[in-house]
Amino acid sequence: MWSESRAVGQEKGRTFIETARRAQIVAAAIDTIAELGYGQASLARIAETAGTSKGVILYHFGGKDDLIRDLVSELSAKGRAYLGPRLEAEPTGTGMLRTYIQANLAFIRQNRNHVLATVEIALNGRSADGSPLYDLSIREAGIAALQELLTHFQGTGEFRADFDPLVMALAIRAALDAVPARLARDPGLDLDHYGHELAGLFQIATTVHGKPVEET
């Protein structure tokens, strides 16, 4: 893993130390935004959390906008790396759908502050020209992939053919996207139970016989 990290840093013209410092700054931004909200997370606050100065942040990032985009991009990459192998290991549509839902919630639990910070950015982050700092194409790509999964298993006969896969994909994403705000209000939220219930609900909604998901 160290050699892979070093290779990435070298490809971008960065030393290992520079890569580590950038990661430290991104982690500080995550914690600051998750705690204070996007509007209060100034570079000065982030620098204080990181134990460094604004000048150091500006040395490694062109400004707050670049730092925020890096933060969002990193979460997206981590999410794909976490979810992809788990879905590929499932041979059935019901297994994939259950895994998609439960793995999303497990990822939220393991990356709580990063997810909360990204939601804050999606809701409130704007660049100097007023454009969103959160790239909406990330969400659209996720919905499209889920729609494709649903469509595929409609074709195999495992899922009902009489639902609109786009509407179902949007409903599943809406249910998952509601979790971070709930988790912020209720840190003790049982995400395992939540995931099991959601998986059962959407299995009933998508499968021919609507059998509930077995406990795993």
Predicted confidence (pLDDT) per residue in 29-75, tens digit? 999 999 999 999 999 999 999 999 999 999 999 899 999 999 999 99
Q: Is 3 exposed, middle or buried (0-12, 13-18, 19+ CB in 10 A)?
A: exposed
Spans of all domains in the chain:
1-62, 72-216
pTM of this structure: 0.84
Give alpha helix (H) positions in 89-164.
93-110, 112-124, 136-155
- The CA distance from 101 to 197, in Å, is 10
Return the minimum-mean-pLDDT range out of 12-21, 123-132, 134-143.
12-21
- The CA distance from 117 to 31, in Å, is 7
The CATH number of the domain covering residues in 72-216: 1.10.357.10
Architecture of domain 1-62 in this structure: Orthogonal Bundle (1.10)
